[in-house]
């Protein structure tokens, strides 16, 4: 059975009647031994933004549990690549080219201790807050996570590197998109087919981190972990 924590990863409108927890993507994920149906979203995202080869790439995946995206990234990066997954909850081992850390992305000291590499080719974030059902609150929390992921990307990506992050649509989205546009040469928003009907999640992808982008201190945007 697939990990039911996916539920917390989805931000749905009030139209829950169409929600089918065991749709075709769920069944395909299960058949292919993938830990999350969201693995298909990543494959489609990478295809749509034209990131066709990740062979030998260095990648960090934020909000990586239970590990569906890590499974795809590990396969694409291959034996010569290095993939790191970070999440609040522990992730069961994936493979020899994947390491994981259990930490809160808001905790700069924990990130420091993890000793994450610089010069990354790709930073992905599928992080989602625990939803409250209060639209404005959930959107604000999602945007806070995206800003933290962006700060992480600015610090750890190589110039020219790529950033992909899940965002809850809502007030403030344009400001967030502007912040991402300021540091990447090319920015696209993508709504993968595997996104559940009624969900307000989309993904923002920034390609080509501008060489002039200085790392931004996470402390400027980060709240202290609870
Ligand atoms: C949609 S799930 C990720 C699914 C994952 N992409 C996969 O394919 O298995 C979102 C994850 O974000 C994590 N998350 C939320 N806030 C976080 C934080 N502050 N630091 C680290 N992880 C966080 C949650 O624990 C949750 O596992």
Per-residue confidence of the chain (226 residues) as pLDDT tens digits?
334 333 344 444 444 445 566 778 788 888 888 888 889 899 999 999 999 899 999 999 999 999 999 999 999 999 999 999 999 999 999 999 999 999 999 999 999 999 998 899 999 999 999 999 999 999 999 999 999 999 999 999 999 999 999 999 999 999 999 999 999 999 999 998 888 888 889 999 999 999 876 776 544 444 433 3
For the CA of 104, the closest atom of ligand 1 is: 20
Please, how many CA atoms are within 13 Å of residue 201, restricted to the half-sphere of its CB?
26
In the chain, what are the domain boundaries? 15-211
166 is an active site residue: yes
**Catalytic residue (one of 22, 41, 48, 166):** 166
CA 191 to ligand 1 centroid distance, Å = 18
Whole-model pTM? 0.87
For the CA of 69, the closest atom of ligand 1 is: 8
Fold of 15-211: Rossmann fold (3.40.50)
Peptide bond into 138 cis (omega under 30): no
Residue of the nearest CA to atom 10 in ligand 1? 127
Question: What is the C-alpha to C-alpha distance for residues 157 and 121, in angstroms, rounded to an integer?
Answer: 6
- Asked if residue 69 has its Cβ within 6 Å of ligand 1, the reply is yes
Question: What is the C-alpha to C-alpha distance for residues 202 and 3, in angstroms, rounded to an integer?
Answer: 22
């Amino acid at each position: 059975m697939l990990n039911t924590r996916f539920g917390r990863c989805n931000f749905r409108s009030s139209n829950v009647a169409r929600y089918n927890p065991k749709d075709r993507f769920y069944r395909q994920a299960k058949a292919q031994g993938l830990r999350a149906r969201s693995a298909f979203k990543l494959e489609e995202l990478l295809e749509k933004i034209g990131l066709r080869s990740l062979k030998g790439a260095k990648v960090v995946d934020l909000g990586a549990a239970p590990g569906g995206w890590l499974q795809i990234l590990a396969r694409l990066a291959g034996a010569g690549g290095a993939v790191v997954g970070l999440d609040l909850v522990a992730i069961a081992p994936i493979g020899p080219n994947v390491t994981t850390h259990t930490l809160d992305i808001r905790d700069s000291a924990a990130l420091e201790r993890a000793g994450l590499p610089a010069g990354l080719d790709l930073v992905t974030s599928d992080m989602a807050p625990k939803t409250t059902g209060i639209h404005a609150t959930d959107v604000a929390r999602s945007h806070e996570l995206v800003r933290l992921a962006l700060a992480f990307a600015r610090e750890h990506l190589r110039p020219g590197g790529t950033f992909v992050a899940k965002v809850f649509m809502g007030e403030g989205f344009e400001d967030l998109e502007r912040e991402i546009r300021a540091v990447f040469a090319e920015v696209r928003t993508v709504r993968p087919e595997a996104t559940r009907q009624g969900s307000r999640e989309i993904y923002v992808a920034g390609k080509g981190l501008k060489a002039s982008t200085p790392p931004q201190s996470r402390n400027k945007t980060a709240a202290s972990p609870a």
